Amino acid sequence: MERETPGDQGPDLGPGHLGQLLHRLQLQVARRAGVDGFDVSVELLLRHLARLQQQAVAQGKGLEEYIAQVGPSMGLIRPSSRTCIQAPLILWQEIIWPPPDLIWIRSPRYTHNPGGPDRGKKRHKEGET
């Protein structure tokens, strides 16, 4: 539930809401520009947002449309440097399922350490106390 701030200034938008709005704008700009969402820099978007909004209004364009237009020349829209893992597509029919009689849990065997009364105690070197 949104809280009204004193003085009837509208809903209280905390830092979490601001991040959500900025991410939404990032994805809308990416969709408008026809690129991946990671190709739009959130840092540059936030840094230039006020100026971009003023310029968009001055030209009579929507904010997303204007950013998609000028973003590549500003470096705001550029190929992402994140690692994109390419994995082969495996159809479920190609998966070889384990046999139904496969034992999934084994009982533990500690043949190398039988345990005993001193197990787990810290051993000191000779001459130390």
pLDDT of amino acid 15: 67
Give the mean pLDDT of the chain.
83
With respect to residue 2, please indicate whether it lies within any of the assigned structural domains: no
The C-alpha atoms of residue 68 and residue 63 are separated, in whole angstroms, by 9
The single-letter DSSP state of residue 47 is H
Four-CA torsion 29, 35, 41, 44, nearest 10 degrees: -50
Read off the pTM.
Answer: 0.55
Q: What is the per-residue pLDDT for 117?
A: 67
Confidence label for 1 from pLDDT (cuts 50, 70 and 90): very low
Per-residue pLDDT, 103: 86
Mean pLDDT of 110-116: 66
Full domain range(s) for residue 42: 15-74
Query: Which tens digits make up the pLDDT trace of 23-57?
Result: 999 999 999 999 999 999 999 999 999 999 999 99
Q: Which residue has the higher pLDDT, 31 or 12?
A: 31
> For position 81, what pLDDT does the model report?
85
**Residue 91 within any structural domain of the chain:** no
Q: How many domains does the chain have?
A: 1
Residue 49 maps to a domain: yes
Please indicate, yes or no, if residue 89 is contained in any of the structural domains: no
The residues, any chain, with a CB within 8 Å of residue 35's CB and separated by 6 or more, are 77
| Residue at 92 is within a domain | no
Task: With respect to residue 120, please indicate whether it lies within any of the assigned structural domains.
Answer: no
pLDDT tens column, 87-109: 999 999 999 989 999 988 888 77
Is residue 29 situated within a structural domain? yes
Say if 41 falls within a structural domain: yes
In 3D space, the residue among 29, 35, 26, 21 whose CA is nearest the CA of residue 62 turns out to be: 29
